[in-house]
């Protein structure tokens, strides 16, 4: 590549980074604009949801009895789920909400989707600080497996971003996707061991537990909690599924989602300005 073209390419990439940063800052500020507590809501919402679920499912229904640190595991699961729903929901609506900007300025459309997911990632980082405080008070021992936790969070983010790319492109043409995705999220929530331990499903039916962990969300959440909270609390999917091909299924689904979303987004992004 000629020096002039390389210089021009660097300028464009720098402009894209600046635009992405400004969009993330704007998204984060606008979300809590006009509220009294402001940014504190990013911490209070998962804590309030945790409080309700802890009282109902742990205190009254006795989920997780005999499992050490299950309350912390429940909180971590809720925080990760909140991130996934925010990242996919905000990413899905990003193109439509930024329609005015897309019609006026020529820039890579993927930046808008990434900004929505990064805003959710900031909230996740803030919520994880609360989780770590709870872990310290609950006496959770940090082992070497905790070093794997950032890798699982990164995979959750990548999967959420891929889903957001696909949903955002479809949502531009079909607004019904937003309602359909809400229903899908409800199903995924109950099909993921968050409010109940996977050991409960194993005691009922081992095949059912193995089937649950074929989902990328269930597998990544399970491994993330196991790496951070400990094996005494949450069993990693490799302890439940012995077949290496089945263990690879969630990660193959992630790769397939990335490929499909990338191809579909690039194919349809030329029509975004006309449809938003």
Residue 159 in any domain: the answer is yes
Structure tokens at 155: 């995979």
Residue 1 lies in a domain: no
Q: What is the structure's pLDDT at 170?
A: 94
pLDDT score at 233: 45
Domain membership flag for residue 2: no
Residue 224 lies in a domain: yes
Predicted confidence at residue 205, as pLDDT, reads 84
Range with the poorest average pLDDT among 25-39, 131-145, 217-231: 25-39
**Based on the structure, what is the number of domains in the chain?**
1
In a domain, 242, yes or no: yes
Give the confidence band of 8 by pLDDT, cuts at 50, 70, 90: very low
Residue 53 confidence (pLDDT) above 90: no
Whether 160 is in a domain gets the answer yes
Q: Is residue 54 part of a domain?
A: yes
Given a cut of 90, is residue 34 above it in pLDDT?
A: no
CB 84 within 8 A of CB 66: no
Q: What is the mean pLDDT of residues 42-49?
A: 74
Identify the residue with better confidence: 230 or 1. Answer: 230
Q: How confident is the model at residue 228 (pLDDT cuts 50, 70, 90)?
A: confident
Range of the domain at 163: 9-275
Q: Do the domain assignments include residue 4?
A: no
What angle is formed at CA 192 by the lines to CA 31 and CA 240, rounded to 5 degrees? 140
The residues, ordered by sequence, that sit 6+ positions from 89 with a Cβ below 8 Å of its Cβ are: 181
pLDDT band at 89 (very low <50, low <70, confident <90, very high): very high
């Amino acid at each position: 590549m000629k020096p002039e073209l390389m210089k021009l390419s660097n300028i464009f990439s720098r402009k894209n980074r600046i635009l992405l940063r400004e969009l993330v800052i704007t998204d984060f500020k606008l979300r809590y604009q006009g509220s009294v507590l402001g940014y504190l809501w990013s911490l209070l919402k998962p804590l309030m949801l945790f409080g309700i679920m802890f009282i109902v499912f742990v205190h009254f229904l006795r989920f997780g009895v005999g499992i050490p640190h299950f309350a912390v595991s429940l909180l971590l699961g809720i925080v990760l789920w909140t991130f996934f729903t925010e990242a996919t929901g905000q990413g899905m609506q990003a193109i439509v909400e930024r329609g005015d900007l897309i019609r006026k300025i020529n820039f890579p459309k993927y930046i808008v989707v990434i900004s929505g997911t990064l805003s959710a990632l900031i909230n996740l980082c803030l919520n994880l600080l609360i989780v770590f405080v709870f872990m310290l008070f609950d006496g959770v021992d940090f082992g070497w497996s905790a070093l794997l936790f950032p890798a699982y969070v990164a995979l959750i983010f990548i999967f959420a971003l891929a889903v957001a790319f696909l949903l955002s492109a479809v949502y531009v043409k079909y607004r019904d996707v937003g309602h359909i995705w809400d229903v899908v999220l409800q199903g995924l929530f109950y099909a993921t061991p968050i409010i109940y331990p996977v050991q409960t499903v194993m005691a009922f039916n081992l095949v059912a537990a193995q089937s649950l962990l074929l989902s990328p969300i269930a597998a990544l959440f399970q491994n993330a909690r196991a790496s951070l909270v400990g094996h005494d609390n949450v069993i990693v999917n490799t302890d439940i599924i012995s077949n290496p091909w089945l263990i690879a299924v969630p990660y193959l689904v992630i790769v397939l989602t990335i490929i499909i979303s990338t191809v579909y987004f690039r194919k349809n992004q030329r029509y975004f300005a006309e449809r938003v």
